[in-house]
Chains A and B, each alone.
Chain A
Amino acid sequence: MSAVALRGVTKAFASASTPILNQVTLEVPDGEFFTLLGPPGSGKTTLLRCIAGLEQPSGGDVVIGDDVVTRRTAAARGVAMVFQRQALYPHLTVRGNLGFPLDVRGLPRTQVNRRVLATAERLGLERLLDRLPGALTDGERQRVALGRALIREPRVLLLDEPLAQLDPGARAELAAEIARWHAAGPVTTVHVTRDVTEAFTLARRLAVLEGGRLHQTGSPRELYESPADTQVAHLMGRPGMNVLAGLARHERRATEVECGPLRIPVPLREYDGQIQIGVRPEHVAIVPRGAGVGDATVRLAEPSGVDTLLHLDAGGVPLIARVPGLPDIAAGAVVGVGVDPGHIHFFDSSGIRLG
């Protein structure tokens, strides 16, 4: 049994020529934490709102449990949602916000109070119960929003980029909170994000949504290690995979891909013609000039301490390399580029993975 299923869900707005969701079919098993990763405008929030009942799909069905809920109101679906921001009732205290979904369902006051206290305790909000949302930090506000969603024990929890507006510290804390909560009592969760780190942190299973279409579904490792197309390759990782379009030539029992001035030997047999190859930045190395697959000019060095991102330009072909530590390379320098042949991904000219 799957807790949430989408069957060919399509959503088109009158104002847009292309549908924002195009025949999305998806199954999320009971108790799973499922993440949808997509760039801004990919339709992921619309998908979430279709599940929640805040949008009516133009076609297809939404199934929760064994019920087709497409025509049901949001309140009747048993789903709860954590929004990106600003979704707390500003005139109610933390206590009022947490208790609201129970209050409006007519639960007795004593029971509401008991559950509010229990939830606040689990989320570490006891001290904040009598504050108004205006007096909370962003992180505290999102924790209250999470509490308000979970307090009524929904069949499905929807998370709409809950960490996006938080600073790194609060983000890690809330991510840990969500993970812990989910581990303690698995509630089927659909989580959408544009941030790959957030996806990696929380997801057990992951799907990439782009242009209203699902590109690939699998574990984060699967999607990272064998992306189904260049878009997935680009989205999985920060920065994303370098994708270079080139021409493959098979000569003297070896294959070489020619991308601008770069000549990249690849472990491919008998391939000729247009190809796209993908290399993650960590698999691009800096070598002495002439020793690698070609030379490139450093456009920008982005050091983070542990490693440094070098934005390279190889005769018009952009390339990002992640090198350890703080190398003594300044913008403008010309360096040799090395590529780890064991970590090259191959895509055809339309972007579909080869092999």
Chain B
Amino acid sequence: MTRLNAFRWIGAAVALITVGGAFAAATGARRFAERRYAERTAASAAAYLAAVTPPPAPGTGPDVPGFLNHARALAALPGWTPDVEVYLGTSPLLRATDAPLSLATLAVLAPAAAPRWLDGAAYAPIAGPGPGRMLGVVRVRPDRDASPVGPWLPGLVVLTTVAGLGAAARMHRRRGTWWLGGYATAALVFGGVAAGTAGTGLHAAEGRWMRETALLIEEAGSRLPRTSLPSLVTILRPLAADGRLSIDSTGGAGEESGGTSSPGTAAPRFIWFGADRWLMLEPPRSDWAVTARDAVAGTAALAGVLALLALTLGASNPVLPGQTEEALSAWMFLAPAGLHLIALTVAPLAVLVYVAVHRWDLAGGPGEFVGLDNLFTVAAVPATWLALGRTALFVLHVPLALVVALALALAIHGGPGRGALTRALLAAAPFVSLVAAGVVCRQMLVSSNVLDRPGAQLGALVGVATLLQIAYLVPLFLTGLRRIPDVLWDAAALDGAPAWTRFRRVIAPLLGPVIRCALATGVALAAQGFTLSFVIGGNRPEGDLVAGRLYRVGWVQGRLDLAAAVALLFTILIAGVAASQIRIWKRGVADAI
């Protein structure tokens, strides 16, 4: 086996392991969240039954019929959905066909201890009268169907695996880079979805438990004799399990405001007991274990890409003595730039994907995982495509300005206008502020009511941007022209090339690096154009470019998820354009550096 083949096998293995790891972390986190839900629900239900079952009169046994009634009522409580069984001693009360509780299990559940996880179900003891007494046991099975993983995650597992194996197999072959790029894209989306799956599992399970427990507390309150609020809280507090139950001193005011919550946790729930009597149920502290898995799921997928990239680079040269040290020091030199890249490019992109596949309100914080729904939603809105179209039109001002600026620069270079005044004006022009130019332009347009006409705003935008771009480009091109040796102009003149041919065959190719650099940076900046459009258009949505649309959706309408989806859509389109023009862009960017 050649060394390259060994690298290919290792790459394939790495891709499989990382995809599998991410999937396992995501689904594991989900199971873990369901288990926590079952444990908490068991504890709440056990506390409920303990609270509502009246203590027996002294000298008599437990009130079995009463207990049975309460247990049956619990299972039938509308809106309370867990898969529950209540045991009195070892016998099941709700479904007679269920197997009796084993003595071993009963022995494990020490009275008044925390819920235990045994054989795929959560068991919580029901505290009996007196210390150390156990009335019965509540068993709750996790509900696998409560929050389905959905088709996205398995689909992406398959896609990412195929792309990863393909990239490994095509390492240093034709189209290998394309496969690696495809793998990276798939892994990025897969990582976002996996992290989302893990994170929302907890969120959904926690939200469900909060809702159901609030119901239980309300039900318990209605079954207990009326008593003062503080003593009610004392009796009901065990129902809150590891959450917190307290008197809401605001008298329910929090319910209208939706409560305050930190991102990633469910909002508190408010339970009404008539008049101004409110209790507040706060969620348990967020579970770091799930959060960690959330992160692992997201990063594991990307780790495979990085590993494969490193392998590809590593496989490109035979290892010479001392090269490992050399490579190590090279990576250390690259590390700051790499961190910069991760912090400012990779991480924001990952966050973007994460936000785009969730429901995420500016006010309400993150919500549940929604897959590609946001993308479909924004794709169905004409405003998105109008903004994209306007941006495409707007970007066209860059080549336009380029042509005009080049013509001006050639005229100035060949003409007599090399005087100090021309040069001073040229040097000053790029310092004109975008905002100042925009404000002036807006004043002119507003005073003449032109802005109301269709397309006028985009026209004005293109006009101002073109002028500013020309002002910036002319000095750049003049510098480029001055760097072309005079002797080449002479040679071209002597060789008999007419002016246009001379420009096309000699000057343009020699200015190539400058032109490509100006084009690449100009287009990149124009595609993100915001300032000028915002100043000229003010708050009119009919003139939005993509960046303006993002702002409107994300910050004016408060839908960060949809804004992220617009950004993602735009990124995908730009990536497509860039891929088709990769040579020009690469050279342009390389020239820029």
Residues of A that sit less than 8 Å from B by CB: 49, 52-54, 73-75, 79-81, 83-87, 89-92, 100-101, 103-105, 148, 152
Contacts and interface: CB of A to CB of B under 8 A. Distances in A.
A54 B494 contact: yes
A101 B488 contact: no
A80 B494 contact: yes
A56 to B, nearest CB: 13
Given A87-B491, A90-B510, A75 B485 contact: no
Contact of B510 (A81, A91, A104, A148): A91
B490 A100 contact: no
Given A89-B506, A90-B510, A91-B512, A100 B495 contact: yes
Given A54-B493, A104-B496, 16 more contacts: A52-B490, A53-B493, A53-B494, A75-B494, A75-B495, A75-B497, A75-B498, A86-B488, A89-B488, A89-B491, A89-B510, A91-B509, A100-B495, A104-B497, A104-B502, A104-B505
B501 interface: yes
B505 A75 contact: no
Given A86-B485, A100-B505, A74 B493 contact: yes
Interface string B495-518: 111100110011001101000000
A80 B485 CA distance: 18
Interface string B293-318: 00000000000000000000000000
Nearest to B490: A54
Nearest to B502: A104
A83 B509 contact: no
A141 B492 CA distance: 17
B424 interface: no
Contacts of B492: 89
14 contacts: A54-B493, A74-B493, A75-B495, A75-B496, A81-B491, A83-B490, A84-B487, A85-B487, A87-B485, A87-B488, A87-B490, A101-B495, A104-B495, A148-B495
Contacts of B490: 49, 52, 54, 74, 81, 83, 87
Contacts of A75: 493-498
Interface string B100-133: 0000000000000000000000000000000000
A105 B487 contact: no
Main SS of chain A's interface residues?
A: loop
Given A91-B509, A100-B505, A104-B501, A86 B487 contact: yes
B497 to A, nearest CB: 4
Interface string B521-561: 00000000000000000000000000000000000000000
A288 B181 CA distance: 88
Nearest to A84: B487
A89 to B, nearest CB: 6
Given A83-B491, A86-B485, A101 B496 contact: yes
Contacts of B491: 81, 83, 87, 89
Contacts of B505: 89, 100, 103-104
Contacts, number: 66
A204 to B, nearest CB: 24
Nearest to B495: A101
Contacts of B509: 89, 91-92
Interface residues of B, number: 19
Contacts of B487: 83-87
A97 to B, nearest CB: 9
A148 B495 CA distance: 9
Nearest to A160: B487
Contacts of A53: 493-494
A61 B507 CA distance: 32
A49 B19 CA distance: 72
Given A83-B487, A87-B491, A105 B496 contact: yes
Contacts of B498: 75, 104
A92 to B, nearest CB: 8
Contacts of A87: 485, 487-488, 490-491
A324 to B, nearest CB: 43
A152 B495 CA distance: 9
Contacts of B485: 86-87
Nearest to A76: B496
A100 B494 CA distance: 11
A81 B497 contact: no
Interface in B452-503: 485, 487-488, 490-498, 501-502
A89 B485 CA distance: 10
A87 B493 CA distance: 12
A74 B494 contact: yes
A221 B143 CA distance: 113
A53 B490 CA distance: 10
Nearest to B497: A104
Nearest to B485: A86
A148 B510 CA distance: 19
Q: Which of B496, B497, B502, B512 has the most CB of A within 10 A?
A: B496
Contacts of A52: 490, 494
A54 B492 CA distance: 11
A125 B87 CA distance: 100
A162 to B, nearest CB: 13
B489 to A, nearest CB: 9
A89 B505 CA distance: 9
B510 A79 contact: no
CB-based closest 8 A-B pairs: A75-B496, A101-B495, A104-B497, A91-B509, A87-B491, A74-B493, A87-B487, A104-B501
A105 B512 CA distance: 24
A157 to B, nearest CB: 11
Nearest to A83: B487
Contacts of B510: 89-91
A52 B509 CA distance: 25
A75 B506 CA distance: 16
A26 to B, nearest CB: 20
A105 B501 CA distance: 10
Interface in B171-220: none
A339 B502 CA distance: 60
A160 to B, nearest CB: 9
B120 to A, nearest CB: 73
Given A91-B509, A91-B510, A91-B512, A79 B494 contact: yes
A255 B182 CA distance: 100
Contacts of A100: 495, 497, 505
Contacts of A92: 509
Contacts of A73: 493
A43 to B, nearest CB: 17
